[in-house]
Structures are given as structure tokens and as C-alpha cells.
Amino acid sequence: MIPEHFPTQFILAGIGTEIGKTVVSSILVEALQADYWKPVQSGALEDSDTETVRQLISNTVSQFHPEAYRLTQPLSPHAAAEIDNVHIDLNSITLPITSNALIIELAGGLMVPLNDHELNIDLVQKLGLPIILVSRNYLGSINHTLLSVELCRNRNIPILGIIFNGPTVSSTEHFILNYTNIPCLGRIGQENQLTKDVIRNYANQFAELIRSR
């Protein structure tokens, strides 16, 4: 279960798309035996991120809460919603009721539009929860990570820490952590195959790291 002094509910935000938020979600859901919720799912409705997390975890405590919006096209939510003739209304997105810990995964990065006037960052503010930022090393990732951090700080959104997913680039990670003074909550290597055992092994590592905070 979630350790003392660590928030019982938080949001996983990525520095961009295809960063690995769902993998990180699976690991943290398993580590904390937390519930999982993705408010907006764009495309892959039969193989959604919710189903991916469900298939990768091993514990029997976690519950999976239904998405507020299930959009048929694998596009930015605002574009997918337009095709489906749906308007994403932030007022209709409310936190699931649960007595358990809750991990919330965003659809894309913080500045991804949900409708013509509102972004993921607006949803984060509405939900009023801290975030964990998922970063991945690639050319430009320093810029994307620092912009995400700056955006959250400008909006007074607490950042619990950064998780690096994928191949390690020590100079990049050192600069990001030193410049932002945000703790690293852990690293996930480049795995050839994701299985329950792989997720469980990382979950055990993350549980220890989080307990030490």
C-alpha cells in the first residue's frame, strides 16, 4: 500500500507523446497497489491503456475506473473528439470515488488540447493534484522536460519527482535534476519485452525508493 508521507493521489504527466507513461503507470500501480484512471482515451479502445495496465500488474487490490471520454481515433483529444462529434467538458471529469491510492494518467503531454480552449494542464489544475513527470532521453528532451517543469511551476502545480524511462543518458539526466532541483524517483531501462515479472521487479524497486522519501 502507499507509504506514509507520500500523496495518495497523483497524476502522471509526460514531457511529450510516446514517453512511456503507461509503463510507468503499471509499475507505480503495482508498487503502491493503487487504483488506475485515465480520464481521456484516444483510439485503441479495445486495447486501451487501462487494459494494458490491467494485464501487466499482478496484485488483486487495484481497481480500474472507467474513462470519462473514450474517443475512437488515435489523435489529439480535441481532434478525436471533433471527429466523434463530442465536446470534452472539464466540468464533467471528476475524480473517481475510492478509498485506495489513485494514479491518473494524462493523454499526452501537458499542453495537449482537450477542446478549443483548454489543455491537459487545465485538467491537472482542476483536479488539484500533484504530478510525477515522466521523461525520456532523446535529442530535445532537456528542452521538453524543462518547459514542462516551468509550466507546472508557473501554475503552482507541485511536482513530486521525475522518472526517466528508456536508455540512460547520464549527462542529460544530471543536468535536468541539477537545474530543476526535482528528485529522481527512479529509472526504467529499455526492456525488450514487458511482462508481469518485469513490472513486478521494477515495482519492488520503486516501492523502496518511495518509502525512503
- The distance from CA 51 to its chain's CA centroid, rounded to whole angstroms, is 15
Q: Is 209 helix (H, G, I), strand (E, B) or coil?
A: helix
Instruction: Answer whether 202's CB lies under 8 Å from 27's CB.
Output: yes
Question: Which residues touch 102 (CB under 8 Å, ≥6 apart)?
Answer: 8, 9, 10, 34, 35, 36, 37, 65, 95, 96
Strand partners, 42: 71
DSSP 8-state secondary structure symbol assigned to residue 92: G
DSSP 3-state of 36: strand
Phi, psi of 127, rounded to the nearest 5 degrees: -70, -25
Candidate list 21, 38, 126, 196, residue with the active-site label: 38
What is the rounded CA–CA span in Å between residue 177 and residue 74? 32
CB 43 within 8 A of CB 109: no
Query: Does the active-site annotation cover 38?
Result: yes
Active site residue ranges: 38
